[in-house]
Amino acid sequence: MRDNMLAAVAASAGLEALDAVRVDALGKQGRITQLLKTLGGMSPEQRQVEGPRIQSLREAVTTAIADRKAALEAAALDARLASETLDMTLPADAPLSGTIHPVSQVMDELAEIFADLGFAVATGPEMETDWHNFSALNIPETHPARAMHDTFYLEGAQALKHLGLADERETISVLRTHTSPVQIRTMLSQKPPIRIIAPGRTYRSDSDATHTPMFHQVEGLVIDKGITLGHLKWTLETFLKAFFERDDIVLRLRPSYFPFTEPSAEIDVGYSLVKGKRVIGGSGDDKDGGWLEVLGSGMVHPKVIEACGLDPAEWQGFAFGCGIDRLAMLKYGMDDLRAFFDGDIRWLKHYGFSALDVPTLSGGVGA
């Protein structure tokens, strides 16, 4: 029996044939298993003789099966390695990675451009006081601009205000409607000359394809001696040329009104239509062109300078502001602001930027 079983094990050409031999010898109904069952009916003397022989048979067959299985598995692996090849020269699949949101990218571009012009980045709280958000900016209680802003007011603070128990300089009462309060806080805490930009989130009750209740805005402020509209125009022209990466940017200053600047001007840039697509650059008076509003600006109102403890006869300045989301839409060809905040991974993959796309003036801020 031993010789026959060992020969069957050795003759097994594959793992399935070997397993059949194992079942025939060691399975529940296997021949060796049946021999082991006969030990119970033997006398002690017979058991002492037959027991070791049967156990030796089982161990020999078990060892032979294990050795043959290892040999067959090794042979199968060798055959697979010989038949399968891996081309190590092929590029590996790119790992999944996140992207930089267009708003964050444009904020970095703005910081890079204005840093080169000597501007620092200033920040402030998103929940503000009436005084910082309105009064210090020449927007008194009865001014229609307060209604125009569609402000989110904090109910508790407004209730205290109507009862005469709230100090408009100290009580947090609104979600800021612009980043202009950062300008006020900077003028109060820092001696001129001042050159800052103030990027950040702002809030107004508005929602459509080009407006959202929360949006991003950047404002700039310069306070110094002898500041004129010429300085404002040069700064904005230099900024827009660097941002849109074109030298043919043409500006048009259109008279406007803002409570915190006097005189005030809307800044339009020329654009042209190329294959039905609007491209920033060139004169808006060209045959296939037009003008597009991108910024609001003006000379800082003397009352604003005075409210911050400075003498408007000694210090002058200019300010400007625009929507960061709008700049991103104009530069990178997006047509619906709501998609910025939907969190659609497909949109983010399409419009997002690699973490290595750090804006630099030498490489192009939009590289």
Looking at 84-88, 101-105, 189-193, 305-309, which range is the least confident one? 84-88
pLDDT, tens digit, 9 for 90 and up, residues 310-347: 999 999 999 999 999 989 988 888 878 888 888 888 88
Cβ-proximal residues to 134 (8 Å cutoff; 6+ apart), any chain: 140, 141, 143, 145, 146, 174
Confidence band of 50 (pLDDT split at 50, 70, 90)? confident
How high does pLDDT run on average in the chain? 88
pLDDT at 89: 83
For residue 52, pLDDT beyond 80 = yes
Instruction: With a cut of 70, say whether residue 12 has pLDDT above it.
Output: yes
pLDDT tens, 228-263? Answer: 999 999 999 999 999 999 899 999 999 999 999 999
* Residue whose tokens read 């070791």: 52
Provide mean pLDDT across the span 77-101. Answer: 82
363 Cβ contact list (under 8 Å, min separation 6): none
Between these two residues, 150 and 28, which has the higher pLDDT value? 28
Residues ≥6 apart with Cβ < 8 Å to 318: 221, 222, 227, 229, 231, 232, 235, 261, 297, 298, 299, 300
CA distance 311 to 306: 6
Res 119: pLDDT:
96
The pLDDT of residue 358 is above 90: no
Is the pTM higher than 0.85? The answer reads no
Q: Where residue 286 falls among pLDDT bands split at 50, 70, 90? A: confident
Contact 299, 232 (CB under 8 A): yes
What is the average pLDDT across 270-284?
Answer: 84
Q: Distance between CA 85 and CA 37 in Å, rounded?
A: 51
> Is a pLDDT exceeding 90 seen at residue 359?
no
- Residue 211 DSSP label: B
| pLDDT band with cut points at 50, 70 and 90 for residue 218 | very high
What is the rounded average pLDDT of the residues 278-290? 82
- Beta partners for residue 317, in sequence order: 223
pLDDT at 268 over 90: yes
Q: Using one digit for the tens of pLDDT, what is the confidence trace for 148-200? A: 667 888 888 877 877 777 777 888 888 999 999 999 999 999 999 999 999 99
* Confidence band, pLDDT 50/70/90 cuts, at residue 97: confident
Mean pLDDT, to the nearest integer, of 52-63?
A: 90
Distance CA 267, CA 319 (A): 12
pLDDT of 122 reads 95
| Whole-number Å distance between alpha carbons of 198 and 260 | 16
* Alpha helices (H) along the chain: 2-11, 15-26, 31-37, 44-83, 102-116, 130-133, 145-148, 155-162, 180-189, 229-244, 302-307, 324-332, 345-351
